[in-house]
Structure 1
């Protein structure tokens, strides 16, 4: 799995050299993010449908509007549902690409934005930085209502893993509240009617939408009704 260790530098290079977009909240869209051979390997190691668990039952999300989503965690029950090669691939990705150095490098790079978020929240700098990863698969649905990310998250990374560009319009959408001064530190999901749609990150192969969590990092997924659609994502979080 030596390619995992080498790939970390490729991913960091692509992330850290992409300008951050400041509006409607600080975010980045990176494409490509992995090397092409490694992206092909990611696709080749996606778990089969039966290896996933409904997302609300994983403990990683509230029940709510995640009914169409399922998740694959790096725990023993999930890895027991796949071949050793598949389980080892994703564990090595977490251990050797998205490792502690990777998380610490992101935190250092986005330190100013994180400082501003913590100051606005009235929170102190965390005593430790943690990381988490989950593979997510979803289909047609009424969408994911608008939210700002879990309060414990510092940085959220959504890696898009589609086969091709056929579902390009189906990425993460950014929003502004109609009541422009409305803010939310996370937890509840808000209805689409109370927000103006700003921009949708293209759901393209080998791309990444990422942001520093704030009280105005409003995002969601618009309702999608496409027969047979499958969206594969890899979610990585740096949190306190």
Structure 2
């Protein structure tokens, strides 16, 4: 099952059209087989299984301490508290998205942008994948930013149940000489779709506030962290361990 899912995801990456403006990116569709996507919709966890994702400067936190963005890391140790049927689905998805084959496909398709950042040896740069199931609620937003340089590739896979809110996808920006931003492209928030780009000094993107008529905006953020050098190697794995500890503390204190 995992191998066939990996093959399908790689096929979707290879079939995705690439766009040069406002920065090099892929627009993905039919990322998962239809049957698997339907299972993912039924397996979306309840609110009690997510933990807060505060953001760089706690920008996602409300005055009452709640967060407008929450997450579940798609590693076995994080999803082990889910009911068995839901855990099976997210283990499958997490295993596929962390696979070397999917990473290689993204690196191959994003090679022009990766070469601009890393040079001729871009194909040999290590990447550490962290897939995260995220949920945004009304009020979540983020201003134009390029992502931290710890990241090499950013992928977001949209998980709506239907076509009710196509206009809440991520916005890609150009930047003028005076520092102002243009709204060049907005990703369509449609079922089983998404985008991918190599993080660079031109990869400006943002999200408008999630409107009140949206119950949740669900997606998978698949981030490939640069895994070159001892510092990055230790940092990437240390973050996984640290997040696991926080997750377990949350479950213990909730009882």
CA contact (8 A) 1:5 1:97 kept: no
CA contact (8 A) 1:159 1:208 kept: yes
More helix by share: 2
Alpha-carbon distance in structure 2 between the residues aligned to 1:222 and 1:93: 28
Greater RCO (CA < 8 Å, at least 6 residues apart): 1
Note the 1:1-240 alignment, pairs <5 A.
2=1, 4-56=2-54, 61-67=55-61, 68-74=68-74, 78-119=78-119, 128-141=126-139, 143-179=141-177, 194-240=180-226
1:125 to partner: Cα distance: 7.3
Query: Any idea what the Cα deviations from partners look like across 1:131-187, whole Å, max 9, x if unmatched?
Result: 11100001111521111122122211100000111111000001122436x5xxxxx
Query: Any idea what the Cα deviations from partners look like across 1:62-116, whole Å, max 9, x if unmatched?
Result: 2433331001123577425421332232223222353122212322332332121
Partner-residue secondary structure (3-state), 2:19:
coil
Q: Rate the CA distance shift 1:103–1:208 in 2: closer, same or farther, 3 A.
A: same
Alpha-carbon distance in structure 1 between the residues aligned to 2:176 and 2:106: 32
Task: Give the gaps of 5 or more residues in structure 2.
Answer: 62-67, 227-255
Partner-residue secondary structure (3-state), 1:135:
strand
CA contact (8 A) 1:74 1:91 kept: yes
CA contact (8 A) 1:7 1:97 kept: no
Task: Give the gaps of 5 or more residues in structure 1.
Answer: 183-193
CA contact (8 A) 2:117 2:200 kept: yes
Partner-residue secondary structure (3-state), 1:15:
helix
Q: Rate the CA distance shift 1:7–1:77 in 2: closer, same or farther, 3 A.
A: closer
User: So what's the TM-score if we normalise by structure 1?
Assistant: 0.82
Q: Rate the CA distance shift 1:199–1:11 in 2: closer, same or farther, 3 A.
A: same
2:229 equivalent in structure 1: none
Query: Any idea what the Cα deviations from partners look like across 1:29-80, whole Å, max 9, x if unmatched?
Result: 1222222111111111111111001112xxxx42433331001123577425
User: So what's the TM-score if we normalise by structure 2?
Assistant: 0.77
CA RMSD of aligned residues (A): 2.4
The number of residues matched between the two structures is: 220
CA contact (8 A) 2:98 2:130 kept: no
Partner-residue secondary structure (3-state), 1:65:
coil
